[in-house]
Amino acid sequence: MHFSGFRVLKEALSGHKGWKPLWRDPQPQPAYDIVIVGGGGHGLATAFYLAKTFKQSRIAVLEKGWLGSGNIGRNTTIIRSNYLLPGNEPFYEFSMKLWEGLEQETNFNSMVSQRGIINLFHSDAQGHAFRRRANAMMLAGADARLLDRDALRGMLPYLNYDNARFPIRGGLMQPRGGTARHDGVAWGYARGADRHGVDVIQNCEVTGFRIDGGAVRGVETTRGYIGAGKVGVAVAGASGRVMAMAGLRLPIESHVLQAFVSEGLKPVIDNVVTYGAGHFYISQSDKGGLVFGGDLDGYNSYAQRGNLPVVEDVLEGGMSLMPMIGRARLLRSWGGIMDMSMDGSPIIDRTPVEGLYFNGGWCYGGFKATPASGFAFAHLLATGRPHETATAYRLDRFARGYPIDERGAGAQPNLH
Ligand SMILES: Cc1cc2nc3c(=O)[nH]c(=O)nc-3n(C[C@H](O)[C@H](O)[C@H](O)COP(=O)(O)OP(=O)(O)OC[C@H]3O[C@@H](n4cnc5c(N)ncnc54)[C@H](O)[C@@H]3O)c2cc1C
């Protein structure tokens, strides 16, 4: 079924009886050419591009729970390509370009909203660093604007300009950055993959790999053995646990990250805003809730919920940046498991096991990467070669001494 304005009108006039489920509920087949483990954003996007762009067939996505139950449905929905390093910026700008055509490509309203992201700075040194970043972004074809304090006052009048502990000096804006409805992205890719013949199988947990002569032959699952020519793993926070089943130890730690949403308010925050003197980022959803977050909880965890000290820390950050937030009531908070790599950058690569490929290490920036990650992983699975924007995301870069340390924090996953 193709979605269109005409279709909405037709259904409205005929009692909405013609809508169909967005994807099938297929039984697992005994074998596939390509099995993707993990039905999050990255796994579903990979399957979509494998089938649509790279014309592969006999593909399955195996998801242990329901689609959207992982980080794809838990993030704060921010998309941007304001990176600095050559290994990263072209990849994230490629992702931004894919976001810009996503709804047409998947024929699904994922509510991509290019409302602009503004990173505030609070010192001359930070301002100089942002100027350098803006130049790096523009060299990679991205958009960037530096805003002074007066311009910010006009755009973001609700910030604390007059008696802040860390006065706002200016901001780096990426006008094309913004938000997208996170679960709508998963549904759009799932529906698109299904329409191209991919079996999207929920409630099917991978419990082991069958490896023979150094090559993967298939996966053990809670719904039986499934043979596979190639297996691509994209399980985000479960990366360490799943790859351990294939005997591989990853340069990744799992940590919990929380997010928050307030009660619905009238429109007040037009853009995405990030605080430069603390870890705090905020936008307003189309339903009116203020959606915000901050730092990791700081300890290793596989729990999808966090603890109160970080709640306090995030709310303190919000209060010091925009005191008016203290008048809003908090509606919900939740957590997700982050696959934190040692340098804060992702991995899209083959593994020492023939036919087994890995995609992970997205830290808390993997939502914006969803389209490019899926495209690059599909490119690798289909052609055997890394996509041109993802050549630096090698699994062995730590051993070779080529980390991509965007934040300059060293091999400290909880600091990236
Ligand atoms: C609170 C929070 C805020 C965030 N904010 C942002 C943001 O604003 N911008 C941004 O860019 N990024 C953000 N992120 C990060 C982003 O959400 C993740 O990096 C990204 O979603 C990870 O990729 P994914 O969608 O494929 O992961 P997931 O949705 O977690 O997908 C992995 C899937 O694998 C499945 N799985 C695990 N083990 C198995 C198994 N054995 N068998 C089968 N399936 C399995 C899981 O059930 C899950 O559905 C945030 C994350 C969180 C938690």
Q: Give me the mean pLDDT over the 140-158 stretch.
A: 97
3 state DSSP class of 321: helix
Interval between CA 70 and ligand 1 midpoint (Å): 5
Whether pLDDT at 1 is above 90: no
Q: What is the pLDDT of residues 328-340, one digit of tens each?
A: 999 999 999 999 9
Whether pLDDT at 202 is above 90: yes
Q: Which residues are CB-contacts of 65 (< 8 A; sequence separation ≥ 6)?
A: 202, 203
More confidently predicted of 159 and 410: 159
How far is it, in rounded angstroms, from Cα 100 to Cα 128? 29
Q: What is the pLDDT of residues 31-86, one digit of tens each?
A: 999 999 999 999 999 999 999 999 999 999 999 999 999 999 999 999 999 999 99
Q: Which candidate, 230, 133, 229, 119, places its Cα nearest to that of 177?
A: 119
Interval between CA 258 and ligand 1 midpoint (Å): 13
How far is it, in rounded angstroms, from Cα 55 to Cα 41? 20
CATH number for the domain running over 117-176+254-341: 3.30.9.10
Interval between CA 345 and ligand 1 midpoint (Å): 15
> From atom 2 of ligand 1, which residue's Cα is the shortest distance away?
75
| Residues in the ligand 1 pocket, defined by CB under 6 Å | 37-43, 62-65, 69-72, 74-78, 205-206, 234-238, 242, 257-259, 293, 336, 362, 364-368
- What tokens were used for 291? 């959606």
How far is it, in rounded angstroms, from Cα 246 to Cα 43? 18
Interval between CA 12 and ligand 1 midpoint (Å): 35
Pocket perturbation via mutation, ligand 1, pick of 69, 75, 280 by most ligand atoms within 8 A of CB = 75
Superfamily of domain 25-81+83-108+182-252+344-415: FAD/NAD(P)-binding domain (3.50.50.60)
Centroid of chain to Cα 388? 20
Q: Which candidate, 399, 323, 331, 313, places its Cα nearest to that of 158?
A: 323
How far is it, in rounded angstroms, from Cα 273 to Cα 155? 11
Q: Which candidate, 95, 46, 44, places its Cα nearest to that of 70?
A: 44
Q: What pTM value is reported for the model?
A: 0.97
How far is it, in rounded angstroms, from Cα 275 to Cα 281? 6
Pocket perturbation via mutation, ligand 1, pick of 71, 272, 280 by most ligand atoms within 8 A of CB = 71
- Domains of the chain, residue spans: 25-81+83-108+182-252+344-415, 117-176+254-341
Whether pLDDT at 348 is above 90: yes
Q: What is the pLDDT of residues 361-392, one digit of tens each?
A: 999 999 999 999 999 999 999 999 999 999 99
Exposure of 308 in the CB half-sphere (CA atoms within 13 A): 0
- What tokens were used for 45? 């996007």
The pLDDT of residue 409 is: 87
Q: What is the pLDDT of residues 272-329, one digit of tens each?
A: 999 999 999 999 999 999 999 999 998 999 999 999 999 999 999 999 999 999 999 9
Q: What is the percent of the chain with per-residue pLDDT over 90, rounded to a whole number?
A: 97
Interval between CA 364 and ligand 1 midpoint (Å): 9
> From atom 37 of ligand 1, which residue's Cα is the shortest distance away?
235
